Amino acid sequence: MAATGVGAGCLAPSVRLRADPAARATACVVRARLRRVARGRYVAELSREGPAARPAQQLAPPVVPGFLAPPPPAPAQSPAPTQPPLPDAGVGELAPDLLLEGIAEDSIDTIVVAASEQDSEIMDANDQPLAKVTRSIVFVTGEAAPYAKSGGLGDVCGSLPIALAARGHRVMVVMPRYLNGTSDKNYAKALYTGKHIKIPCFGGSHEVTFFHEYRDNVDWVFVDHPSYHRPGSLYGDNFGAFGDNQFRYTLLCYAACEAPLILELGGYIYGQSCMFVVNDWHASLVPVLLAAKYRPYGVYRDSRSTLVIHNLAHQGVEPASTYPDLGLPPEWYGALEWVFPEWARRHALDKGEAVNFLKGAVVTADRIVTVSQGYSWEVTTAEGGQGLNELLSSRKSVLNGIVNGIDINDWNPTTDKCLPHHYSVDDLSGKAKCKAELQRELGLPVREDVPLIGFIGRLDYQKGIDLIKMAIPDLMREDVQFVMLGSGDPVFEGWMRSTESSYKDKFRGWVGFSVPVSHRITAGCDILLMPSRFEPCGLNQLYAMQYGTVPVVHGTGGLRDTVETFNPFGAKGEEGTGWAFSPLTVEKMLWALRTAISTFREHKPSWEGLMKRGMTKDHTWDHAAEQYEQIFEWAFVDQPYVM
């Protein structure tokens, strides 16, 4: 039995058959024409074509229950021999998932689902179309919240798929099943699919299995292998990055290529016409595998891939001698080939030859997206391109920037479960209470009049921690409070601890990774500081604005795109949502902070305006999801970049 889609907005992947063993097997074709009758409700007009000799009375009448309409009693259980044959018979209301009951599965050769473009649209609350064309989308990622998160990549891959699924797409996310003793409970609802494959790489055949959870209309697929079960964080432990990360993410990429072909999720596989969305270096082997190992055999010729760059600083680079381990044909070496400049080589005999996963995706993916427009330009410059600028420039015609959204269910001051008090743009009193609670929790003097400045993030060169370190002695001379939450570089962790003991009434350094604490800091602070050296998008400034906390940021990448510097003399009165300073120097940062502090102290109405403008900005994923759809459509208009 085959299911084919006809017409724009092919719905075939979601057609489901419920076979009735009582029905007689007779070859036929069922045509199901979907007509949209209301938002989310469809009528299927069924007609059956089959051999002229087909005895009509041997077939049970169709029952077409929808998700929304309660299923009618199942006449299939007692087929009435006098029932007329099908022609245009079964009509019922149903969601886009078409369920045919009472027809023997093996009695049907083909289901043709025809829906005009208009009919197949999923409508929004105002009955306006969301997605024009629905697709099968496969996200491949090293992390996705709430299962596993080490930073912004996890946030994005935990919420963008849900936003796309809400627009009518069929979405799968493929990521490792990390079991490390602390996050195991996050995978509790994921069930073993019974599917396992053997992956030929690294000198052996490695068995991986698949687990699955269906949540928020998304198929969350977890690849299981012993190398994902170990203490520490996702990518390393106290001794640094895991030495076998290249192996672990090679397995992920192979598994992600197989998943749409073998996993029957909701009864049906995703098939060969997918959009693979590969995130950062962990997933970057996917487009290379599609080109080198599938398309030459006629598989995935109708699929496309989009590389999403969240952070160019991590590229998955290993010695060239590891290439044979990857299981790729020798002639594909050039796609991953990477030669370090002489200054970056370790000794005179080092030829600097390496393989670079991210580079592999840059030269094979159909489209490339960075997580802000500003960053999409920066990656083409020598300063921001981390060595890939020339290659990325050569692909400028398919390079776009889309600013991330945020998960409004998770980050919403009116409902946030991590907060002791709630508030909204109309009633900010809860924010003052959150501030007092935070000061109490941190053991700082509880004072409403003192500006409380926060920092949340990885303690990493990228985040400009060294600038904060240099500025602290000056800043601590002011009447301010400062709280930092972060983990990473042990040198900075030690510095945070010692600074806390030097400025007991003013500074708190919380070393560690705690999502609830990050929510409480975002809500309780007045100012959020982000002096990032580079920032592809940045999420904390978006969370801050959503919570009425005014961001002071270095004007780079996504920070420049999202934070508008305060202007008291704008054309329509006061404008702006924070301060974006540039260039990145301690003096400039202190100047921006002092301007913010004096506005907080001396211009209360202006401060409230800043808070409210930030809170009323649209930070939802809807707009970004629509832009991703556009990129996918462009990709499908073109032939695959590498056949």
Nearer to ligand ADQ, 439 or 546 (CB): 546
Q: Does 518 bind ligand ADQ (CB under 6 A)?
A: yes
Which residue has its beta carbon closest to ligand ADQ?
A: 151
Given the rule CB under 6 A, which of 189-197, 199-207, 226-234, 453-461 is the region that contacts ligand ADQ?
Answer: 453-461
Query: Which of 536, 576, 578, 614 is the binder for ligand ADQ (CB under 6 A)?
Result: 536
Site for ligand ADQ in 269-298 (CB under 6 A): none
CA-based nearest residue to 365, from 499, 479, 429, 275: 275
Q: What angle do CA 310, 313, 319 make, to 5 degrees?
A: 120
Give least dist CB 5 to ligand ADQ, A: 33
Nearer to ligand ADQ, 137 or 312 (CB): 312
Q: Does 180 bind ligand ADQ (CB under 6 A)?
A: no
CA-based nearest residue to 529, from 451, 599, 607, 621: 451
Give least dist CB 18 to ligand ADQ, A: 41
Nearer to ligand ADQ, 378 or 526 (CB): 378
State the distance between the two ends of the chain, measured CA to CA, in whole angstroms. 29
Site for ligand ADQ in 487-506 (CB under 6 A): 487
Nearer to ligand ADQ, 119 or 378 (CB): 378
Nearer to ligand ADQ, 544 or 596 (CB): 544
Give least dist CB 286 to ligand ADQ, A: 18
Nearer to ligand ADQ, 83 or 514 (CB): 514
118, two tokens: 């208009």
User: What is the total count of residues that contact ligand ADQ (CB under 6 A)?
Assistant: 26
CA-based nearest residue to 307, from 322, 288, 331: 288
Give least dist CB 296 to ligand ADQ, A: 33
Q: Does 529 bind ligand ADQ (CB under 6 A)?
A: no
Site for ligand ADQ in 70-99 (CB under 6 A): none
Given the rule CB under 6 A, which of 27-35, 246-254, 454-462, 631-639 is the region that contacts ligand ADQ?
Answer: 454-462
Give least dist CB 61 to ligand ADQ, A: 52
CB 243 within 8 A of CB 227: no
Nearer to ligand ADQ, 356 or 518 (CB): 518
CB 196 within 8 A of CB 251: no
CA–CA gap between residue 575 and residue 570 (Å, rounded): 6
Q: Does 458 bind ligand ADQ (CB under 6 A)?
A: yes
- Residue whose entry in the numeric block shows the structure tokens 């743009």: 425
Quick one: which H or E segment has residue 247? helix 245-262
Given the rule CB under 6 A, which of 8-16, 434-442, 530-538, 595-603 is the region that contacts ligand ADQ?
Answer: 530-538
CB 293 within 8 A of CB 238: no
Query: Which of 134, 303, 311, 549 is the binder for ligand ADQ (CB under 6 A)?
Result: 311
CB 45 within 8 A of CB 32: yes
Quick one: which H or E segment has residue 112? strand 108-114
Site for ligand ADQ in 17-46 (CB under 6 A): none
In terms of Cβ atoms closer than 10 Å to its own Cβ (0-12, 13-18, 19+), residue 452 is buried
CB 4 within 8 A of CB 31: no
CB 218 within 8 A of CB 208: no
Nearer to ligand ADQ, 155 or 258 (CB): 155
Residue 240 — φ and ψ, nearest 5°?
A: 115, -165
Nearer to ligand ADQ, 61 or 151 (CB): 151
Q: How many CB atoms lie within 10 A of CB 639?
A: 10
Question: For residue 240, is it left (φ>0), alpha (ψ between -120 and 50) or beta?
Answer: left
Site for ligand ADQ in 365-404 (CB under 6 A): 371, 404
Site for ligand ADQ in 571-630 (CB under 6 A): none
Residue 14 — φ and ψ, nearest 5°?
A: -100, 10
CB 300 within 8 A of CB 290: yes
Torsion sign (Cα): 258, 263, 269, 275: negative
Q: Does 513 bind ligand ADQ (CB under 6 A)?
A: yes
Query: Mind giving me the DSSP string for 200-254?
Result: EETTEEEEEEEEEEEETTEEEEEEE-GGGB-SSSSSEETTEE-TTHHHHHHHHHH
Q: Does 152 bind ligand ADQ (CB under 6 A)?
A: yes
User: Residues near 9 by Cβ (< 8 Å), separated by ≥ 6?
Assistant: 115, 116, 117, 119, 120, 121, 132, 133, 134
CA–CA gap between residue 281 and residue 296 (Å, rounded): 24
Quick one: which H or E segment has residue 97? none
CB 489 within 8 A of CB 611: no
Nearer to ligand ADQ, 370 or 439 (CB): 370
Given the rule CB under 6 A, which of 262-270, 343-351, 514-522, 627-635 is the region that contacts ligand ADQ?
Answer: 514-522
Query: Which of 58, 514, 582, 595 is the binder for ligand ADQ (CB under 6 A)?
Result: 514
CB 316 within 8 A of CB 358: yes
Query: Which of 310, 367, 506, 613 is the binder for ligand ADQ (CB under 6 A)?
Result: 310
Q: Does 457 bind ligand ADQ (CB under 6 A)?
A: yes
Give least dist CB 486 to ligand ADQ, A: 5
Query: Which of 5, 92, 96, 538 is the binder for ligand ADQ (CB under 6 A)?
Result: 538
Q: Residue count of the chain, please give it.
A: 643
Nearer to ligand ADQ, 20 or 410 (CB): 410
Nearer to ligand ADQ, 374 or 640 (CB): 374
Query: Which of 221, 468, 539, 596 is the binder for ligand ADQ (CB under 6 A)?
Result: 539
- Position 618: which residue type? D
CB 103 within 8 A of CB 20: yes
Between 212 and 231, how does the x/- string for binding to ligand ADQ read (CB under 6 A)?
--------------------
Beta bridge partners of 175: 222
Query: Which of 46, 153, 453, 467 is the binder for ligand ADQ (CB under 6 A)?
Result: 153
Given the rule CB under 6 A, which of 72-80, 121-129, 476-484, 534-542 is the region that contacts ligand ADQ?
Answer: 534-542
Query: Which of 156, 288, 362, 615 is the binder for ligand ADQ (CB under 6 A)?
Result: 156
Between 470 and 489, how does the x/- string for binding to ligand ADQ read (CB under 6 A)?
---------------xxx--
Nearer to ligand ADQ, 114 or 496 (CB): 496
3-class state of residue 188 by DSSP? coil
Nearer to ligand ADQ, 211 or 513 (CB): 513
Tell me the three-class secondary structure of 492-533, residue by residue. Answer: HHHHHHHHHHHCCCCEEEEECCCHHHHHHHHHHCCEEEECCC
Nearer to ligand ADQ, 131 or 537 (CB): 537
Summarize as ranges the residues that interact with ligand ADQ (CB under 6 A): 151-153, 155-156, 310-311, 371, 404, 456-458, 485-487, 513-515, 518, 535-540, 558
